[in-house]
Amino acid sequence: MAKPPVDLRTALKGRFDVKQELGRGGMGTVLLAHDTRLDRDVALKVLTPEISSAVGSERFAREIHLTARLVHPNVVPLFDSGQVGDSLFYVMPFIDGQTLRQRVDKEGRLEVEEVLRITADLAEALAYAHAMGAVHRDLKPENVFWYRGRALLADFGVAQSNLEGPKRITEAGLVVGSPHYLSPEQAEGDTRRLDGRTDLYSLGCVMFELLTGQPPFEGKNAMSLIVAHVTAPIPFVHTLRPDVPADLDALVHHLMAKKRDDRPATAAVVLDRLRSIGSEPSPGQLATRVVARAQGKATPPTPLPPIGALWIGGLDALEYFHKGSAIYRTAMHGGQGTRDKLELARVYLEKALALSPENPQILTALSDVIHVLGIRGFADLATASEKAKEMRMKALALDDTFGEVHTSIGVSFLYWEDEFELGGAELRRGVELSPDHGTGRRLYGAWLKIAGRLEEALAEMRAAVELDPKAPFMWVGLADVLMTMGRYDEAIRPLREALRHGPGYAAARERLEMSCHRAGRHDEALAARRAMLGTRGETARMAALDARVASEGWAAAREADLRTELTDLLALADREDPFQDKAGSFQLSDRIIVVLAELGEWTQAMDWVERAYHRRPGRLRRILTDLHYDYHGLAIDPRYSRLLQTAGLHELLHP
């Protein structure tokens, strides 16, 4: 690769150790550099003096502030910005993966299924960004990375806010974007008419190229391409690739409509159409296949315990066991009535144990109920934990081939003893021995998610849902993985299922609000947030939210409500220990970190992450990968890299 100009290398010296030039275009130059402040390799985008002058430092600073808040699994985050000489620059993480440009140049057209997956990731990113008031304006294959099985949209640094009224980042008449992917309104240079549908046009152009191996329009120069976007007929994919499904061809054509009003209204609408084209099997269908493969059978087995020597209590013990276990599964997620359910489950399981005292299944199930009673604050935690451990060890001694006891031990290692690898080994062993145990599949899926093995986690969660479709806990597990993958629109259905089976499941309602917001489904997000506040009895906040939505719109109203929530949480943290497990495996500090992340207050969030690490070092991995925020936003703080290196979690430095 070419070396960067000497003046840039010299001018940036001190903060950045420039290594090489990664690319160059009409907007500027991209450099690979080592950021000495953040102690990591970064991609440095230096705008040309002409673009920098047209943008202006003040407007650039405002836009960068907006863009820095875009933290999403499918968006390459922005770390920092500045100015060198007459050129503005911004800093992004260096992604050591192929761009779509490199893939298309090497492979030509891609498989339809892969195009659907890539496009869905991009539509997710756009739905989120547009909901935050940002328009990318330069969506092209060069700005999309294929990394670890996911499409990442980069270069939001020149995004245009669509919330600021008539004043925009560029002067009217300046064309910003790449000629092969410009929308007609961009080609005409009228930046006042740009909104999210501009990005959807570019998405259509990218889809066309991924499916056919060539862009929709060709020209001898940039001007001829600009004219083609405005005046030339929209091409159909099937003329170059007859095997493409007609509904996919129609979607591409719809996205590339000349007039904005003739395109899909939002990226969320595009996502719905992509999902229907992809026609992915339902979670239940996929889970059936997963379980069948694990068992080597055509259909999943019926999860009934054996009646033999261990079940000396006979059918009465078996009936009590089933009643207690079923009630426990409905109480695992907490909420109203949890204590009564857990106590009832305990009574039934103690009856079963009295009839069959050497039964490892009953011992394990009862140990879990006793432990959760302590965790939820309904019994002394130390006493409950010791009693549960004693019962698990007895069950293990009776039968170490019984999968559920390994699952129970693994959960204790993972969530309470901060033994991540030991927890994973036990949870994996539990699934190997008892693949028909839904809770075991669900909990191993949670470990896989924390470990970053998301496709495996998704398979386990789908298996759990199939095995126990009436347990809200299973549906939330599936949604958790989809959210971590950035597939927020897909997470909505499992969360609604969780609430259907457990109307009081507060965590499901919170996740539903977040997923609807990030998928760009504002009306549904508002309804979920109102329900969340209403069930807490926070009628004043709900009224304030409604008033702000009416006067300022959803995004501003949500931010104001989050700031109110933050104030309340910080006040609570002054009254009680925020780093103590209370009524579950999560802490008050976790809630504070998530809200700060939602607000884009990354320095303050890092303050809390660091404090939490100092209190309980072994919990750091979970703080970063088991909460509902994209921890990569923390990378703007120099402490982040140092903390991960100190904790031995170097792999989390990568996007």
Q: What would the two tokens of residue 618 be?
A: 């072994």
Distance set, CA 189 to CA 170, 172, 184, 257 (Å): 10, 6, 9, 17
Rg (CA), the chain: 27
Identify which of 580, 595, 604, 583 has the alpha carbon closest to the alpha carbon of residue 627: 595
Longest dimension (CA), the chain: 86
Which of the residues 35, 80, 121, 138 is marked catalytic?
138
Distance set, CA 136 to CA 191, 209, 222, 493, 655 (Å): 12, 19, 20, 28, 20
> Half-sphere exposure of 3 toward its Cβ, with a 13 Å CA cutoff?
6
Distance set, CA 501 to CA 197, 468, 535 (Å): 37, 11, 16
Torsion of CA 353, 355, 361, 362, to 10 degrees: -20
Distance of CA 275 to the CA centre of its chain: 18
> Could you tell me if residue 468 is left (phi over 0), alpha (psi between -120 and 50 degrees) or otherwise beta?
beta
Query: Is 354 within 8 Å of 528 (Cβ atoms)?
Result: no
Q: Using N-to-C axis directions, what is the helix angle for 112-131 and 246-255, rounded to 10°?
A: 40
Q: Where are the beta strands (DSSP E) in 97-159?
A: 98-99, 134-135, 144-147, 150-153
In the residue annotation, 138 being an active-site residue is answered as yes
> Half-sphere exposure of 53 toward its Cβ, with a 13 Å CA cutoff?
4
* Neighbouring-strand partners of residue 20: 32
Alpha-carbon torsion (325, 331, 337, 342), positive or negative: positive
Q: How many helices (DSSP H) and strands (DSSP E) are in the chain? A: 29, 10
d(CA 423, CA 428): 8
Query: Is 392 within 8 Å of 408 (Cβ atoms)?
Result: yes
Query: Is 60 within 8 Å of 81 (Cβ atoms)?
Result: yes
Active site residues: 138
